Amino acid sequence: MMEKKLWGGRFEASLEAWVEEFGASIRFDQKLAKFDIQGSIAHVTMLGQTGIIEQAEADTIKAGLEELLAEYETGQLEFDVTNEDIHMNMESLLTEKIGPVAGKLHTARSRNDQVATDMHLYLKDKLHEVIEKLANLRQVLVHLAEEHVETVMPGYTHLQHAQPISFGHHLMAYYQMFTRDSERFTFNIQHADMSPLGAAALAGTTFPIDRQLTSDLMGFAKPYSNSLDAVSDRDFILEFLSNSSILMMHASRLCEEIINWCSHEYQFVTLSDTFSTGSSIMPQKKNPDMAELIRGKSGRVVGNLVGLLTVMKALPLAYNKDLQEDKEGMFDTAETITVAIDILAGMLESMTVHKDRMAVSTEKDFSNATELADYLASKGMPFRQAHEVVGKLVLECTKAGHYLQDIPLERYQEVTDLIEEDIYQALQSRTAVERRTSLGGTGFESVQHQIQQATAELNPDK
């Protein structure tokens, strides 16, 4: 006997169980249950107010939906794969609860606009959560930068010592990255904050619905202007996945640095035990596993973006079953980034910074070579000539096994009489950092200015 489906009127045979399992989405789209009920409550409220169904019927359906929501929130609802997706499961559960009148809920609605509405509601809610968590991470970076404005460390290019910088300055670079991430997610809300409900399958409906009313009831900024676009648009999800990929790329870069900094070769920081693990065979090990996991999960998030882009790239309008593949990557990404942001904030907040080790690492290197070139240029030597002079001195030092600050004044003055005793002060790492006062530079005053700006951004009402 053919099992009765809500869409089964024109079918003579039912799906085999393994085929049904392949086509079903309830395993993952049950995450939309709360939002599906929220959208249904708005829809039936509108059906009653417009007279499309009797007000008493609308009230009965609404009461049943509210009971289902309460049961869902207490973990009492059970979903059945034979009902395919969250929409069919909810309609079936509602029918069990209030009887055949539940069938009137689907008047002037399709699963096409229903699922799109659910995802808009889900993602809009998630975006606010992500932005809030990013604000906390940015605040952690600012607080850490405040503590380390005058902590001197090597700045790198090509992973080679380049110029000494403030550790606070280094941290504030990541503050700027995560601020741009927050701005992208904030813009993402604009496209998530639209209601597809009422677009029906693709062409709208003959019923006298009020799409503005349902949009307002769900708290959306506006309804979609085109019904085809409403049911087929997944740009708001692609934007989220793209923004998340950029966020995780930034997080991965910072984690890569943390992994380096806590290695034996660097010893710049020590991570809290809370965010470290040990080895099953090597008892001395303290591994930065959480940082490594964030670095690894960045690939997973990028994969979700590429997956949906590939699904979307050749889809004709309007709805196609391919769009069922839009959800798992969205859910996975949302869950991944929200935890990753919190883990990263916790690692930064609890790690120990070894200021002395950072400072020492800038003293036995040639990261002050630019200071000598700038010194000569400030005395009137063309910079290109100064660059060549300093390059030759660096070569001389590497062969002799010492550094620029070890060269006697007599030798400096053999090279050029522009060099005087103040050169040794200029070659100190702290001096090199302190003097870079240009806007956005690593000078201590400049870093303080960055922190002040960031504090104002994070606390606009103060």
One domain for residues 310 and 454:
no
Q: Are residues 233 and 119 in the same domain?
A: yes
* Interatomic CA distance for residues 77 and 385, integer angstroms: 78
Last residue within a domain, chosen from 294, 327, 360: 360
pLDDT for residue 338 is more than 60 = yes
In this prediction the pTM is 0.91
Q: Give the bridge partners for 195, in sequence order.
A: 223
- Res 8 pLDDT > 90: no
Q: For residue 15, what pLDDT band results from cuts at 50, 70 and 90?
A: low
Termini Cα distance of the chain? 69
* Domain of residue 331, CATH code: 1.20.200.10
Q: How many domains does the chain have?
A: 3
Residue 41 within a domain: yes
SS3 category, 320? coil
Arithmetic mean of pLDDT, 422-448 = 95
| Percent residues over pLDDT 70 in the chain | 94
pLDDT, residue 329, reads 96
CATH number at residue 37: 1.10.275.10
Look at residue 151 and tell me if it is in a domain: yes
Is the pLDDT confidence value at 266 over 60?
Answer: yes
Q: 166 pLDDT exceeds 80?
A: yes
Q: How many CB atoms lie within 10 A of CB 201?
A: 15
pLDDT band for position 1 (50/70/90)? Answer: very low
**How far apart are the C-alpha atoms of 184 and 453, rounded to whole Å?**
19
CB of 291 closer than 8 Å to CB of 255: yes
pLDDT digits (tens, 9 = 90+) for 308-334: 999 999 999 999 999 989 999 999 999
Do residues 72 and 133 share a domain?
no
366 or 20: whose pLDDT is higher? 366
Q: Quote the domain boundaries for residue 63.
A: 17-107
360, 390, 425 — which closes off a domain?
Answer: 360
Q: Are 451 and 173 in contact (CB under 8 A)?
A: no
Pair (379, 343) in one structural domain: no
The pLDDT tens digits of the residues spanning 32-69 come to 999 999 999 999 999 999 999 999 999 999 999 999 99
Quick: pLDDT tens for 173-204: 999 999 999 999 999 999 999 999 999 999 99
Mean per-residue pLDDT for 255-272?
A: 97
Residues 351 and 384 in one domain: no
For residue 247, is it within any domain?
yes
Asked whether residue 9 is domain-assigned, the answer is no
Q: Read off the pLDDT of residues 365-407 as tens digits, 9 standing for 90 and up.
A: 999 999 999 999 999 999 999 999 999 999 999 999 999 999 9
Radius of gyration of the chain (CA): 31
Q: Are residues 29 and 88 in the same domain?
A: yes
Measured CA angle at 451 (ends 445, 453), to 5 deg? 105
Distance (Å, rounded) from C-alpha 84 to C-alpha 7?
11
393: CATH = 1.10.40.30
CB within 8 Å of 125: residues ≥ 6 apart: 35
Q: Tell whether 12 is covered by a domain.
A: no
Q: Of 58, 91, 107, which one is at a domain's C-terminal end?
A: 107
Are 327 and 200 members of one domain? Answer: yes
Task: Please list the alpha-helical segments (H only) found in 74-166.
Answer: 86-98, 111-147
Q: Is residue 3 part of a domain?
A: no
Q: What is the pLDDT of residue 81?
A: 80
Q: What is the pLDDT of residue 186?
A: 98
Shared domain for 92 and 157, answered yes or no, is: no
> What is the CB neighbour count within 10 angstroms for residue 399?
8
Is residue 325 within 8 Å of 118, Cβ to Cβ? no
Is residue 54 in a domain?
yes
The answer to whether the beta carbons of residues 362 and 152 sit under 8 Å apart is yes
Q: Which residues are part of the catalytic machinery?
A: 158, 279
Q: Summarize the confidence of residues 160-178 as an average pLDDT.
A: 97
pLDDT band at 27, cuts 50/70/90? confident
| Residue 315 confidence (pLDDT) | 95
Q: pLDDT band at residue 7, thresholds of 50, 70 and 90?
A: very low
DSSP state of 418: T
- Do 36 and 172 belong together in one domain? no
For residues 105-125, average pLDDT: 97
Specify burial of residue 196 (Cβ count, 10 A radius: 0-12, 13-18, 19+). Answer: buried
> Are 27 and 159 found together in one domain?
no
Is pLDDT above 70 for 417?
yes
* Mean pLDDT, range 77-90, rounded to an integer: 86
Q: Is 46 domain-assigned?
A: yes
How sure is the predictor about 28, in pLDDT bands with cuts at 50, 70 and 90? confident
Do 345 and 243 lie in a common domain? Answer: yes
Helix (H, G, I), strand (E, B) or coil at 156: strand
pLDDT digits (tens, 9 = 90+) for 232-258: 999 999 999 999 999 999 999 999 999
Q: Are residues 170 and 318 in the same domain?
A: yes
Main-chain phi, psi angles of 195, to 5 degrees = -100, 120
